[in-house]
Structure 1
Amino acid sequence: MTNDRRVLLHQNKHALAASVAARFLTNMVDVLHQQEEANVVLTGGSVGIAVLAAVNESPARDTIDWSRVNFWWGDERWLPRTDPERNELQAREALLDHISVPPENIHAFGASDDAVEAGTDALDAAAARYTAELLGRAPNGAQYPRIDVMLLGVGPDGHIASLFPHRSGIREREASVVAVRDSPKPPAARLSLTRPVINSSDRVWLVLAGSDKASALGLALAGASRDEVPAAGIKGRYRTVFFVDNDAAAQVPESLIAPGY
């Protein structure tokens, strides 16, 4: 199978979320038919959480054996565990608390109120713990699991996960997880998967809606540098799909939009 990069256009945010949810459920059926378990990386943001809510509302939700699905996150805000701005909490409320997924299959990033050893930098320690958790689920010789679906949002500046333009995170080549201390959007402290992990995924699905994303999307598809527009440096092993609404697609050449969308 070769990599395929495409843009799928939807009328509005609601239609976008419903489409991604339906495709996700179908994909999980296919993946679990072919292998024992699946690894999915979730994203935050209004569209990412809307997708999870649409999965929860789908009549097909309970056709999936969720006990065979592992959930990870692309990034997390360094906040207390119960802070409503945490991607983990939003994902739990939208989907994870409503399905039969074992607690050990939910791989959340550390939180700022987790206990750490005295003298240990908490953010670095959390990055190290998540690195170890990824390694613990990896096949022999790998640093992280085989990821079946990587869901990503895209910021107005083109950032993905917590990898921002002109910051060191997007240039990281070795580490699986980075501690972010200089995020240009609050909170400044975050944890994020790196580009090597993201690009190791079989399928990368970038979901974005709104006119404020149009410039970043246009630049990413036009071949901007990953340092300038991090989304431009993202490419899954088999398939990379940009799920967008009409407003976000304002600067996408018609030739890049998949037929029928």
Structure 2
Amino acid sequence: MEVKIYKDKIEVAHEFCNYFADLVADKNDFHVALSGGSTPKLIFDVVASKYGNKIDWSNIHFYWGDERCVAPTDDQSNYKMTHEHLFSKIELPKENIHRILGENEPKGEAMRYSNLLEINLDRVEGIPQFDLVILGMGDDGHTASIFPHEIDLWHSKDHCVVATHPDSGQKRVSINGAVINTAKEVVFLVTGKNKAEKVDEIHNKNGNFKSYPATLVAPKSGKLTWFMDEEAAGSI
């Protein structure tokens, strides 16, 4: 595991974009699972402005690690956010966008997306393998849409699961732990002082760290990188 700490979320965005550009350079076929949230939103803006004309987007296929079960026009949609802040600003073939259909019935959509991943991605011991999975972490220690109260979903035999937000009850479709940990590389993007407590517990293995899904992120490749700002990393 590698930990990269930067001054603020803007510096995190720029450094992650440099990392991403280097990672996809000269790749003929690159499959990445995206995250939602405020940090990815900033990153999408930066990568579009900084690398919009420098990356061959025709070689990159975009997926999502999780999606809220809402229409793609809904402001809560991870797809809508990504379209507004990245896709609308770059030359990307429509067939390279593989969104979770949040408007569909959740269980059926989880099954459809699982099948899509099996078809589109190489498999390692039966598990679809992304080139890169980008994750965020909630201030409750959740990642993708695997929340502490449903941590068993991490170990589901299904590649994609239906999760329930603990407060709103909103349904979400999420990839499971096996798909995350089979990826060639995994990156956490974590910013803000509200994340500091859980970052401390996870990295120093104290408190309730075992109850946080983010603790379970341990790619078999060994390639796990945390990009954090000083506020989020303040206690490690």
C-alpha distance in 1, partners of 2:157/2:30?
A: 24
Q: Say if 2:234 is the partner of 1:243.
A: no
C-alpha distance in 2, partners of 1:200/1:49?
A: 25
Partner of 1:190: 172
- Matched-pair contact (CA < 8 Å) for 2:129–2:179: no
Query: CA 1:151–1:141 in structure 2 vs 1: closer, same or farther (change >3 Å)?
Result: closer
How much identity, in percent, do the aligned residues show? 28
Offset at residue 143 of structure 1 (A): 4.4
C-alpha distance in 1, partners of 2:210/2:165?
A: 15
Offset at residue 110 of structure 1 (A): 1.1
Give the one of 34, 39, 58 matched to 1:42.
34
C-alpha distance in 2, partners of 1:249/1:141?
A: 33
C-alpha distance in 2, partners of 1:18/1:187?
A: 35
C-alpha distance in 1, partners of 2:102/2:111?
A: 13
Give the one of 196, 201, 207 matched to 2:189.
207
State the one-letter code of the partner of 2:91: S
C-alpha distance in 1, partners of 2:123/2:24?
A: 24
Query: CA 1:143–1:133 in structure 2 vs 1: closer, same or farther (change >3 Å)?
Result: farther
Offset at residue 61 of structure 1 (A): 2.8
State the one-letter code of the partner of 2:230: N
Secondary structure of 2:165's aligned partner: coil
- Matched-pair contact (CA < 8 Å) for 1:41–1:72: yes
Give the one of 41, 55, 72 matched to 1:81.
72
- Matched-pair contact (CA < 8 Å) for 2:151–2:211: no
Partner of 2:145: 162
Moved more, 139-148 or 213-222: 139-148
Partner of 2:199: 217
C-alpha distance in 2, partners of 1:187/1:14?
A: 32
Describe the superposition over 1:165-212 as per-residue Cα deviations: whole angstroms up to 9, x where unpaired. 1314544241100011x3114352110000100011111110111111
Query: CA 1:184–1:246 in structure 2 vs 1: closer, same or farther (change >3 Å)?
Result: same
Over aligned residue pairs, what C-alpha RMSD do you find?
1.8
Offset at residue 146 of structure 1 (A): 2.7
Offset at residue 26 of structure 1 (A): 1.3
Offset at residue 140 of structure 1 (A): 6.2
For structure 1, list consecutive stretches of 5 or more residues without a partner in the other structure.
115-121, 253-261
TM-score when normalising by structure 1: 0.84
C-alpha distance in 2, partners of 1:61/1:206?
A: 22
Partner of 2:214: 231
Offset at residue 62 of structure 1 (A): 2.0
Secondary structure of 1:241's aligned partner: strand
TM-score when normalising by structure 2: 0.92
Structure of larger gyration radius: 1
Question: Where in structure 2 are the equivalents of 1:10-25 lying within 5 Å?
Answer: 10-25=6-21
Secondary structure of 2:101's aligned partner: coil
Question: Where in structure 2 are the equivalents of 1:145-156 lying within 5 Å?
Answer: 145-156=128-139
Offset at residue 19 of structure 1 (A): 1.0
Secondary structure of 1:76's aligned partner: strand
Question: Where in structure 2 are the equivalents of 1:111-122 lying within 5 Å?
Answer: 111-112=102-103, 114=104, 122=105
- Matched-pair contact (CA < 8 Å) for 2:199–2:233: yes
Partner of 1:256: none
For structure 2, list consecutive stretches of 5 or more residues without a partner in the other structure.
none
- Matched-pair contact (CA < 8 Å) for 2:201–2:209: no
Give the one of 19, 28, 32 matched to 2:24.
28
Offset at residue 105 of structure 1 (A): 1.3
- Matched-pair contact (CA < 8 Å) for 1:48–1:152: no
Question: Where in structure 2 are the equivalents of 1:49-88 lying within 5 Å?
Answer: 49-58=41-50, 60-88=51-79
C-alpha distance in 2, partners of 1:22/1:168?
A: 33
